[in-house]
């Protein structure tokens, strides 16, 4: 099969008709596969680096120290792309294709400017940033070396991710999945080649990631140029327009806050764990976050896939379909995360050994794993509420609950709990489940109230 046929998009589905579960499955399954292979960029790095003889622990710690900066890059991507993607679906639902394409073009320009600015600033202040993130004299060289080679791929990473999100919003999740899978396969091949064969260590992991991200961007750009898509990138739409920028940033701010607060949480964890247990506990937290990312990925794919479906039907005033989408997303999310929590309880050692954990790291990691994942299923409520707010074009509550969950609950508890009741490092690992319960229940309840207020009385 030629590459043209392989990546040529199929006809976009009609979000206003058909079975809600079937439409979500058509979008969420390829989206989950696409996000899984994108997640593999970092998780595969962690797995391979965990096998390095003699330097595995220091390399994993160095990689963990780079997470706050990488999360901030992801936050900038979300600021532009997670705002633009549901907006394109919303305006397509209203039949306004021209404005949807203006949003798409302006988002591409914003992503380019953010990528260049982030890369330049990171190079200028890289060392002090890593020291502030908790780097020690032994782990600083590894974190610095990784980021020096990772940062040149920032533009390809941000723009490629944005283009794929917009493909998903058009209902072309299968095409986005194939593109992301191509990059993941490249990363799986290049990682051991650069890390072990060329003996580049953590530097090789960064180079492999950049090359794979560049491939994803190149394929996505080719599809937009050669494919017959519901929306196209027109040169006239690349010129920034203040009203369009305000629309994108207002809705994308919730995604930015969600990702940006991840950086704040990782920073708080690194600083606190540095004081309590040093590099050992930072390495354990790196592994726990990797396990969490893997297990929560299907939920994130489901709720993100629901956003354009909610947005389209909101724009078309099909409120019954909006409610059915929210109900189905919530049910599947809670059931899945309950099963994932059971998996953690049944096979904790296997999950940790996947990242090369042995000895003290394995013993301490098992204890931390049970604390960190307690009440994991409540995260589904927050995710469903957050994605519905975004789909309904309600940025203020979406931003509020992103801030409340991380800045209002996790960060303060991470800094305070270790010094209460002699919890020590356990307090850092307990902060996450507490936030899942509090923010999950409150966010979901407020989302339901907002949805009832927006729905016309005759449609309820």
- Closest to 16 (Cα-Cα) out of 230, 306, 309: 309
Position 39 scores a pLDDT of 62
Q: Mention every residue, 6+ apart, whose C-beta is less than 8 A from residue 346.
A: none
Position 433 scores a pLDDT of 82
- Asked whether the whole model's pTM tops 0.85, one would answer no
At 456, list the tokens: 């016309």
- Closest to 389 (Cα-Cα) out of 437, 442, 443, 330: 443
Pair 223, 9: CB distance under 8 Å: yes
Q: Along the 460 residues of the chain, how does pLDDT read in single tens digits?
A: 444 444 454 555 556 666 677 777 666 666 666 566 556 656 666 666 656 655 656 666 666 677 777 778 888 888 888 888 888 877 887 778 888 889 989 999 999 999 999 889 888 888 888 877 766 677 778 788 888 888 888 888 889 888 888 887 787 777 887 888 788 788 878 878 887 777 777 788 888 888 988 898 998 888 888 767 777 888 888 888 888 888 888 878 767 777 777 767 777 777 777 777 666 777 777 777 777 877 777 787 778 777 777 877 777 777 778 888 888 888 888 898 888 888 888 877 777 776 665 666 677 777 778 788 887 888 888 888 888 887 777 777 877 887 787 777 777 877 787 777 777 777 777 778 888 888 888 888 888 888 888 776 444 4
Q: What is the pLDDT of residues 250-294, one digit of tens each?
A: 878 767 777 777 767 777 777 777 777 666 777 777 777 777 877
How far is residue 428's CA from residue 128's CA, in Å, rounded to a whole number? 24
Position 3 scores a pLDDT of 42
How far is residue 407's CA from residue 22's CA, in Å, rounded to a whole number? 37
Pair 203, 146: CB distance under 8 Å: yes
Q: Where are the domains of the chain?
A: 22-455
Sign of the C-alpha dihedral, residues 8, 12, 18, 20? positive
- Closest to 300 (Cα-Cα) out of 38, 105, 11: 38
How far is residue 58's CA from residue 291's CA, in Å, rounded to a whole number? 19
At 268, list the tokens: 């708080």
Position 34 scores a pLDDT of 57
Helix intervals (H) in 277-358: 279-315, 319-346, 348-353
Dihedral (C-alpha) 118, 165, 248, 112: value to the nearest 10 degrees? 30
Pair 279, 63: CB distance under 8 Å: no
How far is residue 109's CA from residue 117's CA, in Å, rounded to a whole number? 12
How far is residue 233's CA from residue 222's CA, in Å, rounded to a whole number? 11
SS3 state of residue 266 = helix
Pair 83, 249: CB distance under 8 Å: yes
**282 Rama class: left (phi>0) / alpha (psi -120 to 50) / beta:** alpha
Question: Which residue has tokens 């690992």?
Answer: 429
SS3 state of residue 102 = helix
DSSP structural state of residue 151:
G
């Amino acid at each position: 099969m030629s590459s043209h046929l392989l990546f040529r998009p199929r006809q976009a589905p009609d979000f206003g008709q058909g079975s809600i579960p079937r439409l979500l499955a058509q979008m969420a399954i390829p989206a989950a596969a696409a996000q899984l292979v994108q997640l593999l960029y970092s998780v595969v790095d962690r797995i391979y680096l965990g096998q390095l003889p003699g330097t595995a622990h220091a390399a994993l710690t160095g990689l963990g120290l780079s997470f706050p900066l990488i999360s901030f890059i992801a936050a900038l991507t979300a600021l532009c792309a997670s705002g633009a993607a549901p907006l394109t679906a919303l305006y397509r639902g209203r039949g306004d294709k021209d404005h949807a394409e203006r949003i798409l073009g302006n988002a591409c320009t914003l992503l380019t400017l953010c990528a260049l600015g982030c890369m330049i600033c990171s190079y200028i202040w890289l060392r002090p940033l890593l020291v502030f993130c908790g780097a020690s004299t032994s782990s600083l060289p590894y974190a610095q070396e990784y980021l020096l080679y990772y940062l040149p791929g920032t533009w390809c990473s941000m723009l490629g991710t944005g283009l794929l999100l917009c493909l998903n919003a058009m209902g072309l999740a299968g095409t986005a999945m194939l593109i992301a899978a191509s990059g993941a396969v490249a990363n799986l091949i290049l990682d051991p080649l650069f890390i072990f064969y060329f003996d580049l260590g953590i530097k090789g992991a960064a180079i492999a990631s950049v090359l794979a991200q560049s491939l994803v961007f190149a394929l996505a750009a080719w599809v937009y140029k050669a494919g017959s898509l519901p929306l196209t990138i027109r040169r006239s739409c690349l010129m920034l327009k203040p009203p369009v920028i305000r629309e994108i940033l207002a809705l994308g701010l919730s995604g930015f806050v969600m990702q940006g607060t991840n950086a704040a949480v990782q920073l708080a964890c690194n600083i606190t764990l540095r004081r309590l247990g040093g590099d050992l506990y930072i390495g354990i937290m790196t592994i726990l976050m990797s396990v969490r990312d893997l297990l929560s990925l299907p939920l994130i794919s489901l709720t993100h896939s629901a956003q354009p479906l909610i947005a389209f039907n909101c724009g078309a005033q099909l409120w019954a379909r909006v409610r059915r989408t929210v109900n189905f997303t919530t049910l599947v999310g809670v059931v899945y995360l309950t099963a994932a929590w059971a998996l953690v309880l049944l096979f904790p050692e296997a999950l940790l050994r996947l990242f090369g954990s042995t000895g003290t790291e394995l013993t301490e990691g098992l204890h931390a794993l049970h604390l960190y994942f307690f009440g994991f299923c409540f995260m589904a409520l927050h995710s469903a509420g957050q994605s519905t707010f975004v789909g309904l074009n309600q940025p203020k509550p979406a931003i509020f609950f992103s801030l409340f969950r991380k800045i209002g609950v996790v960060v303060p508890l991470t800094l305070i709990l270790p010094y209460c009741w002699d919890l020590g490092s356990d307090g850092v690992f307990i902060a996450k489940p507490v936030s899942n319960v509090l923010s999950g229940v409150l966010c979901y309840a407020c989302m339901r109230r907002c949805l009832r207020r927006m729905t016309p009385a005759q449609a309820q």
